[in-house]
Amino acid sequence: MEFFLVQLLNGVSYGLMLFMLASGLTLVFSLMGVLNFAHASFYMLGAYFAYQVSTKVGFWPALVIAPALVGGLGMAVERWGLRSVHRFGHVAELLFTFGLAYLIEETVHLVWGRNAVEYRVPRELDGPLFSIMGSQVPTYRMFMMLVSVSMLVAIWIALTRTRIGLVIQAALSHPQTVEALGHNVPRVFMLVFGGGAALAGLAGVIGGNAFVTEPGMAALVGPIVFVIVVVGGMGSLAGAFVASLLIGIMQTFSVSLDWSLAGLFSQLGWTVTSQTPLAALWNVRLSQAAPVLPYLLMVLLLIFRPKGLMGTREG
Amino acid sequence: MTILRNTIRGALAAALLCSACIAAQAAGTVKIAYIDPLSGAFANVGEAGLKHFQAMADEINAKGGVLGKKIEIVVVPFDNKTSPQESLSQLKRVIDQDIRYVTQGNGSSVAGAIIEAVNKHNERNPGKELLYLNYAAVDPAFTNEKCSFWHFRFDANSDMKMESLTSWMAQNKSIKKVYLINQDYSFGHAVKKAAREMLNRKRPDIEIVGDDLHPLGQVKDFAPYVAKMKQAGADTVITGNWGSDIALLIKAAKDAGLTAVFYTYYGGGLGALPAIGEAAEGRVKQVTEWHENIVPNKTEKFAVSFENKYKVDFYYLRVRTMMLMLADAMNKAKSDGPKEVALALEGMRFEGDTGEVEMRKTDHQLIQPLYLSTVYKTAAKGGPKEVKYDVENTGMGFKTDARLEGYTSAQPTSCQMKRP
């Protein structure tokens, strides 16, 4: 029971971390139709900016400054890069962000070097917050969960309850009308892209010190973020939330289960030995395969429900 | 500051390259091709290794080179991007440039490909042989079933390191429950297999309470694995993990309040301690042929001047041993021909910085003393007084638990070497 609770908490917190990463990506996709391959790179930049800022003024100012910087950079990218390739269609946009991801990685190499930087969890958030029956729960994990949930609430309120949110939604479906009403639609898109980048940046500030801030960190999270967006349904914020939690919990629990197909067969009265054909495959344990399960889920979902859990678009 | 440092680093690398290209044209040089990653994810490790070789070449040349001042040693870098395929095409370039010595260390998959290619080349081109000096690829197969006359290994192989770890663990009666966690590829499997066999032989009372394999470099959150270790009541963890896989594992262990001690191969490897942070203190042990705080430390002066010059920690004592042994073998053979040098190297005994080492004739495996050590704060920061130097400016360094003589880690070999 204790083990179950601890793993559940691990799963939920990992899921919320994944949501932080995926929210900006799904937002930009739903509002602009741009699948941003450089999203994970903005996450990495968030971590490096936070590291740089926190060495000067500490973690708390960095929590605000770093996402703002990444957001500003995102806007600049939209204004002077993405906007000009926009008229060549989605493939051009996709290739543009793909190239941008490489550019950002190389820049990080040049500026901060190839090793991990010493970006640390601040003292006041270090250490355990409470224990569940003898197992410690780190303060920083709870902080991560708190930030992630507030992010969800804030995005939802901003989109549905504020004027700017209504203009953004209107600009998506009826750009000409919104323009005729005197709103600057390209600027709205610039803000949306910048906002998505800032969300990735915030995830970087939080994730950078919880995990490791190194040039490979973008490549490490890149694929899983796309899986979440696809599983949740392209462009659905609620879908991304559900998918993040699902994948977080699924991955955590499959790590704890040492089940294998060979075990299942022996329950059925058929023993797998080293002579059995494909013995290696039958002996793979679920815990061993845990990190590839999200990808399996994505493939299955694309076959049986291509629009994702809560998506509205087909394919 | 970092930008400035990188600019200097870049200029330095350019200078290195150029000194190599000029010297390569000069007559009477021995060229050693360095085939390791200089771009991509492991470029930091490759760059640091190159500096070790450069420093050793400088030292040997400053003392007049080899073969009575006639020959200089020059290191020529080749970028293999840690890929076996890329390494083979770099090896072709090496052959084209008429370089006869090759060194490589990162990745046993790469090393395996090089051994095969060198064997083939030498068979087909008598008189133009290549010699492969391996400084870090630890797959035991290279000095057993895949052994070759043209391959020499200067690092202790993975089984030898496990032998050292387990012989220390065998004496520690407080160890009762051991958890194994390794990366799911050939090296991780080798560590796992050796750990099971050796623990069973030396301490059958130790219970192996868990045995996990996870994909290489794919796991971001190790918390679920750590929860499993806790559940299983592990007091000791053995892992061959390296790179971000070791850093994230130990950080997660600290966060969850797991008190187990980690016996590692690469807990002190380049980039590991800065990423792990203070979580490493008292919790991480490593087995290596050297660290900065061994007593007595004959390498101290060299290591300090190396660090001042190259701004990176001196880590590979085996590179030093290897280059000095190579120079010795050339002097002894009175030739820089790979075949003559190989014959002089096998069976050679050499007084290294940590004591006598031997290049075993039967399988070309270097038998050397190993050190088991634990991470502590430096003396300056209130740690034990032996911890004089820290690792990569972390304020933490290693303190020796035990020195294990070469014979304790030596393994029997199944090598049946074909000599030319």
> What is the rounded (10 degree) CA torsion for B205, B209, B211, B212?
-160
Instruction: pLDDT band for B9, please (50, 70, 90 cuts).
Output: low
User: Which residues of chain A does B274 touch, with a Cβ-Cβ cutoff of 8 Å?
Assistant: 115-118
Residues sharing a CB contact under 8 Å with residue B199, sequence separation 6 or more, in sequence order = B166, B169, B178, B206, B208
A118 to B217: CB separation less than 8 angstroms, yes or no: no
ipTM for the complex shown = 0.85
Flag whether B23 is in a domain.
yes
Residue-by-residue DSSP string for B157-183: PHHHHHHHHHHHHHH-TT--EEEEEEE
Handedness of CA B309, B310, B311, B316 (dihedral sign): negative
Nearest residue in chain B measured CA to CA from A221:
B220
Token pair 């309040």: residue? B257
Q: What is the dihedral of CA B179, B181, B185, B191, to 10 degrees?
A: -50
- Does residue B255 share a domain with residue B328? no
Q: How far is CA A1 from the centre of its chain?
A: 30
B8 and B100 fall within a common domain: yes
Question: What residues in B contact A252, CB-CB < 8 Å?
Answer: 221, 223-224
Render pLDDT for B230-251 as a digit per residue (tens, 0 to 9). Answer: 989 999 999 999 878 888 898 8
Does B262 lie in the same domain as B166? yes
Position A269 scores a pLDDT of 77
Position B186 in a domain: yes
Of A158-167, A261-270, B106-115, B348-357, highest mean pLDDT: B348-357
Could you tell me the two tokens for B281? 């203190």
- Do B351 and B399 lie in one domain? The reply is no
Partner A, chain B 267-286, Cβ-Cβ below 8 Å = 270-271, 274-275, 277
Please provide the DSSP assignment of B226-270 as one string. HHHHHHHT-SEEEE---THHHHHHHHHHHHTT--PEEEESSTTST
Nearest-Cα residue of chain A relative to residue B184: A288
Q: Would you say residue B187 lies in a domain?
A: yes
Q: Which residues of B touch A114 (CB under 8 A)?
A: 43-44, 47
Predicted local distance difference test score (pLDDT) of residue B22: 41
Contact A250, A293 (CB under 8 A): yes
At B210, list the tokens. 């868990």
Looking at residue B228, which CATH number applies to its domain?
Answer: 3.40.50.2300
d(Cα A109, Cα A133) in Å, to the nearest integer?
44
Q: What is the mean pLDDT of the segment spanning B358-362?
A: 96
Rounded Cα gap, residues A232 and A241, in angstroms: 7
Residue B162: phi and psi, rounded to 5, are: -65, -35
pLDDT of residue A315: 37
First to last CA, chain A: 41
Compute the distance between CA of residue B323 and CA of residue B58 in angstroms, rounded to an integer: 11
Q: What is the pLDDT of residue A102?
A: 92
Which chain B positions have a beta carbon within 8 Å of A120's beta carbon?
277
Residue B338: predicted pLDDT: 94
Beta strands B101-104 and B131-134 are: parallel
pLDDT of A276:
74
Beta bridge partners of B366: B359
Residues B398 and B386: their CA atoms lie apart, in Å, by 9
Q: Considering only CB atoms, which residues of chain A are within 8 Å of chain B?
A: 3, 6-7, 10-11, 13-14, 17, 110-118, 120, 128, 131, 135-136, 138, 140-141, 211-212, 214-216, 219-221, 224, 251-253, 255-256, 287-288, 290-292
Mean pLDDT of B112-138: 94
Whole-number pLDDT of residue B299: 94
In angstroms, the CA A31 to CA A308 distance is 17
Residue B127: how many other CB atoms lie within 10 Å:
7
Contact, B141 vs B148, CB < 8 A? Answer: no
What pLDDT, on the 0 to 100 scale, is given for residue B381?
92
Q: In the prediction, which pLDDT does B255 show?
A: 85
Write the DSSP symbol of residue A184.
-
Angle B39-B42-B47 (CA atoms, 0-180°, nearest 5)? 65
- Alpha-carbon gap: A180 to the closest alpha carbon of chain B (Å): 48
Cα-based torsion angle of the residue sequence B48, B52, B57, B58 in order, rounded to the nearest 10 degrees: 90
Shortest Cα–Cα distance, B3 to chain A (Å): 5
Dist. CA B251–CA A208, nearest whole Å: 13
Could you give the CA distance from residue A225 to residue A295 in angstroms, rounded to a whole number? 11
Q: Indicate if the pLDDT at residue B10 is higher than 70.
A: no
Instruction: Report the gap between the CA of B216 and the closest CA in chain A (Å).
Output: 10
Residue B93 sits in the same domain as residue B22: yes
Q: DSSP of A75-127, one letter per residue?
A: HHHIIIIIHHHHTT-HHHHHHHHHHHHHHHHHHHHHHH-SSPP-----GGG-S
Tell me which H or E stretch contains B331.
Answer: helix B317-333
CB-CB neighbors (< 8 A) of B82 in chain A: none
Residue B295 touches partner A, C-beta closer than 8 Å: no
Candidate from A3, A140, A216 with C-beta closest to B231: A3
C-alpha distances out from residue A134 to A2, A137, B69, B225, B260, Å: 9, 10, 68, 17, 15
CA distance B380 to chain A (A): 20
B148 with B232, same domain: the answer is: no
Residues B8, B95: one domain? yes
| Cα(B297)–Cα(A171) distance, integer angstroms | 70
Residue A139: its chain B contacts at CB < 8 A? none
pTM for the model: 0.84
Instruction: With cut-offs at 50, 70 and 90, classify the pLDDT of residue B13.
Output: low
What is the number of domains present in chain B?
A: 2
Cα–Cα dist B244/B284, whole Å: 15
All structural domains of chain A with their residue ranges: 2-219
B277: chain A residues, CB-CB within 8 Å: 118, 120
pLDDT in the model for residue B247: 86
Determine, yes or no, domain membership for B414. no
Partner-chain contact B255 A7, CB within 8 Å: no
Q: Is there a domain that residue B19 lies in?
A: yes
Name residues whose C-beta falls within 8 Å of residue A297's C-beta, 6 or more positions apart in sequence.
A227, A231, A247, A250
**Average pLDDT rounded to a whole number, residues B118-144:** 94
> Per the CB < 8 Å rule, is B215 touching A211?
no
Task: Write the DSSP symbol of residue B418.
Answer: P
Query: With contact defined as beta carbons under 8 Å apart, do B220 and B244 qualify?
Result: no
What residue has token string 């793993």?
A7
Alpha helix segments (H runs only) across chain A: 2-32, 39-57, 59-77, 83-86, 90-112, 139-161, 163-173, 175-180, 185-210, 217-232, 237-256, 261-267, 279-282, 286-289, 293-304
The reply to whether B417 falls in a domain is no
**Closest C-alpha to B307, from B351, B276, B272, B270:** B270
Preceding amide of B224 cis, omega within 30:
no
Name chain B contacts of A253, Cβ cutoff 8 Å. 224
- Shared domain for B64 and B186, answered yes or no, is no
Q: pLDDT of B288-338, one tens digit each? A: 999 999 999 999 999 999 999 998 899 999 999 999 999 999 999 999 999
Q: Which residues of A touch B5 (CB under 8 A)?
A: 113
pLDDT for residue B1: 46
- Residue B19 domain boundaries: 2-156+298-367
Within this chain, do residues B282 and B332 fall inside the same structural domain, yes or no? no
Are A17 and B221 a contacting pair at CB < 8 A?
yes
Across the interface, whether the CB atoms of A141 and B255 are under 8 A apart is answered yes
CA distance A40 to A46: 10
**Whether the Cβ atoms of residue B333 and residue B381 lie closer than 8 Å to each other:** no
Q: B122: closest CA among B130, B112, B114?
A: B130
Q: Using the beta-carbon criterion (under 8 Å), do B255 and A113 form an inter-chain contact?
A: no
What's the one-letter identity of residue A255?
Answer: V
CA–CA distances in Å: residue A79 to residues A29, A72, A301: 17, 10, 35
Both tokens of residue B186? 């050939």
**How many interchain CB pairs under 8 A, A with B?**
108
Mean pLDDT over all residues of chain B? 89
Which of A13, A211, A251 is closest, CB to CB, to B248? Answer: A211
Q: Is residue B194 part of a domain?
A: yes
Q: Give per-residue pLDDT as tens, B199-227.
A: 999 999 999 999 999 988 788 889 999 99
Q: Does residue B376 belong to any structural domain of this protein?
A: yes
Are B40 and B186 part of one and the same domain? no
Closest Cα in chain A to B232: A3
Interface contact B214, partner A, CB < 8 A = yes
A128–B227: do the CB atoms touch at under 8 Å? no
pLDDT tens per residue, range B261-287: 999 999 988 778 887 888 899 999 999
Residues of chain A with pLDDT under 50: 314-315
Beta bridge partners of B202: none
